[in-house]
Amino acid sequence: MRGDRDFGFTDEQMMLRESVRDFVRREVPDEYARRCDRERIAPLDAFDKMADLGWLGVAIPEQYGGSGLGFVELGIIQEELSYGLLELAVLFYRATVHGAQSLLTYGSEAQRQKYLPLIAAGKFKSSMSLTEPNAGSDAAGVQTRAVRDGDGFVINGAKVFNSQVDLADRTVLVTRTDPKAPAHEGISLFFVDPRSPGVTIERLETLCFRSVGTNRVTYENVRVSEDDLLGTLNGGWKHLMTNLNKERFSLAAQVTGAAQAALDCALQYARDRVQFGKPIGKFQAIQHKLADMQIAVHTSRMLTYDLARRLDAGIACRKEASMAKVFTSEAYFRVADEGMQILGGYSMTPDFPMERHYRDSRLMRIGGGSSEVMRTSIAKDLGL
């Protein structure tokens, strides 16, 4: 029943997809995902089992202990993990993209050698600490200060909505190092250990993403060394931008997998639920909803793997990345919303995963660049 079209995958990519599907069937069944969500438990045991299979190193070059594959493979893993539990794919993404791709794009050789083998082995988690109370979509407005002090820096400030920072070995912390420079030119990135003295982490109550969750974080006189600087001093904004397409691609792959799971749940329910003497899937009104959901998921997958191939080929793809992010996240929300309608009153109960999809899909139109900001970026690329 699932999205079985191969999208031109090679035999090896098809085998990888089968392995991840098999893993998700065994290790991430509905009951597991439901328990992680309801009891607010991060899926760390599933993460560790996945790490043993070597998938965290899929797009890390062999010289650093990875498999040296590319974005199609990274997409396949994220899509399939997300089919079981979106937040498991997000855990994977934070290590492989926020961690590994950041290091590969703008880390030093010493930092790559130190961290990439650990990420590839699944023994290292990372996160991204960008958003602040006064700097959301206007991310270049960050005010968290890093001030040079002897052979290192001292950091003071506050971040909000920092997911998984409580589980991370290091977080990519976005700071202001030159307050006199224009906003985009005075930003630097540090790879900070969130267990450092002076860091306080408070879990936030949220509608969505209840398993891994998100946090408010304060930094009070936190010392970091020169070796923790990621990329060049005051070059942080430029570095962040180089990774943006990879992040948007990852979010697209994740929501495609989650949308497929929501569609499959609704399809099964439409076959099973009998009203007026027949399965509700026999009513044209329900059939058309399912047809629209199928179109949304199929188109999401096309945009995702088109983007993966552009990334693998090194083709410029800012517009395609923004289009994929906005389309797939809105598609996931539409699929979950119609899924709620198809499941009727039962959609409201945690007996079915639809209410989790409905909650999580709502975030995906906001987080990682809101739909409004994505459309503005697309318009800019159209020359407007």
Ligand X SMILES: Cc1cc2nc3c(=O)[nH]c(=O)nc-3n(C[C@H](O)[C@H](O)[C@H](O)COP(=O)(O)OP(=O)(O)OC[C@H]3O[C@@H](n4cnc5c(N)ncnc54)[C@H](O)[C@@H]3O)c2cc1C
Q: Does 128 bind ligand X (CB under 6 A)?
A: yes
- Return the range that interacts with ligand X (CB under 6 A); candidates 176-184, 204-212, 246-254, 340-348: 204-212
- Find the shortest distance in angstroms from Cβ 296 to ligand X: 21
Name the residue number minimizing CB distance to ligand X: 136
Burial status of residue 110 (CB atoms within 10 A of its CB: 0-12, 13-18, 19 or more): exposed
Give the number of other Cβ atoms within 10 Å of residue 140's Cβ. Answer: 16
Q: Which of 194, 231, 281, 367 binds ligand X (CB under 6 A)?
A: 367
- Find the shortest distance in angstroms from Cβ 238 to ligand X: 18
Q: Which of 54, 61, 136, 152 binds ligand X (CB under 6 A)?
A: 136
Q: What DSSP string runs through 206-230?
A: -SS--SS--EEEEEEEEEEEGGGEE
**Residue 157 and residue 145: Cα distance in Å, rounded?**
6
**Residue 100 and residue 180: Cα distance in Å, rounded?**
31
Q: Does 143 bind ligand X (CB under 6 A)?
A: no
Q: Which of 82, 131, 144, 177 binds ligand X (CB under 6 A)?
A: 131
Q: How many residues does the chain have?
A: 384
Q: Would you call 108 helix, strand, or coil by DSSP?
A: coil
Nearer to ligand X, 144 or 300 (CB): 144
Nearer to ligand X, 21 or 184 (CB): 184
Determine contact, residues 67/58, Cβ cutoff 8 Å. yes
Backbone angle region of 57, left / alpha / beta, with phi > 0 → left and psi within -120 to 50 → alpha: alpha
- Find the shortest distance in angstroms from Cβ 199 to ligand X: 15
Q: Between 69 and 108, how does the x/- string for binding to ligand X read (CB under 6 A)?
A: ----------------------------------------
- Find the shortest distance in angstroms from Cβ 77 to ligand X: 20
Please name every residue paired with 172 in a beta bridge, in sequence order, or none if there are none: 128, 191
Q: Does 161 bind ligand X (CB under 6 A)?
A: yes
**Residue 205 and residue 216: Cα distance in Å, rounded?**
10
Please give the torsion angle defined by the CA atoms of residues 128, 215, 135 and 92, in that order, rounded to the nearest 10 degrees: 20
- Find the shortest distance in angstroms from Cβ 22 to ligand X: 30
Which ranges of 228-317 does DSSP label H, i.e. alpha helix? 236-272, 284-313
Nearer to ligand X, 104 or 130 (CB): 130
Q: Does 302 bind ligand X (CB under 6 A)?
A: no
Q: Does 202 bind ligand X (CB under 6 A)?
A: no
- Find the shortest distance in angstroms from Cβ 363 to ligand X: 5
Element (H, E) at 375: helix 371-381
- For ligand X, how many residues bind (rule: CB under 6 A)? 22
Nearer to ligand X, 129 or 260 (CB): 129
What's the one-letter identity of residue 76?
A: I
Binding positions for ligand X, rule: CB under 6 A: 127-131, 136-137, 161-163, 206, 208-209, 214, 363, 366-368, 370, 372-373, 376
